[in-house]
Chain A
């Protein structure tokens, strides 16, 4: 009954529980001593995210991978990504701005799409000079998320395809609806002048 996936999932689960305890201790210390330890909490959450991502990568690359699709309020998702990344980027002198013109719910895998956008923003933040922008809009029946920065752009196009990107392409592709499937496009020359990450979901 115990497959490799069960073993991995159980290990990740236990580690994340420990990280949660660590984060709550930091939270308690912040209250007790009146200090701001946001970066320490960010580091803990980033470690947990890495663990989740590893597990998600393993799951998604399997033949029978299925995203967990629920109706999601797109504006809420963007707000959450902003909450996750804004302070951290600000600490590095980079401003994260957002625009979301989508009012309705959209069927998508909330956790994995959130993580993909977090990842895209982290990448953009590493190369940006001072700005990263997250946008969500509807385009002819597609939901389009984009992340742009004002850095130098991708050195090669398409960029070298690492594990992260392979998983991202796969996740986009697994979003299928009414005979259409999602896709991921990376390009240069965005409105901010740097790289542009675009996720299109049916």
Chain B
């Protein structure tokens, strides 16, 4: 067998769900293992081979001084670095701390706050090191992560749509929950990738894949207001898994200005 590219999977501040999505590839995992040497994937195996690595998949955000150092080491050992999931690409749900006083949390939550070394913010990997590709989602879509690995192997750009979730609803024939039910939904401003799971179950989109490539959040927030959402509710709809993604952060800030 030819020398296989070496793959590493890293965890930062995260729930492990994106790594589990990779493990959930079950049928395809053997094919992946045939094409790449899974050299470092602690979630899957305690057998860890030292770097350097050809492809690093990074899950999670940077929330501690230690991780801010560690991501530099990961980058230094990685020829290509791809972030996977909302934490790594936008700071994740834990980036809600960015809008609050972390010192106060530390004093309120921990009996010995002085043991806790944490940063005031949860930040995306891109804010610390150069990133070659960012795969969205909370969690990532397993077909998309396989596409990213295949694209890396064959030195092409991954085919990952960056338009809205609405296109996925329409392709599935899902009836628009906004138009037919008046249900608040982030689909029009959110990037496709999940396959429109929530609208298919008559729920509004929660924005797990972060802003689409042309997110008109001002127009959308105004429409959400017409649907009956108060500024506080509009603020909460944007402040979830991708709260710190620039377009959603700005939309949340605008809702705060409106009194949210």
Chain A bound to chain B: no
Residues of A near any B CB (own CB < 8 A)? none
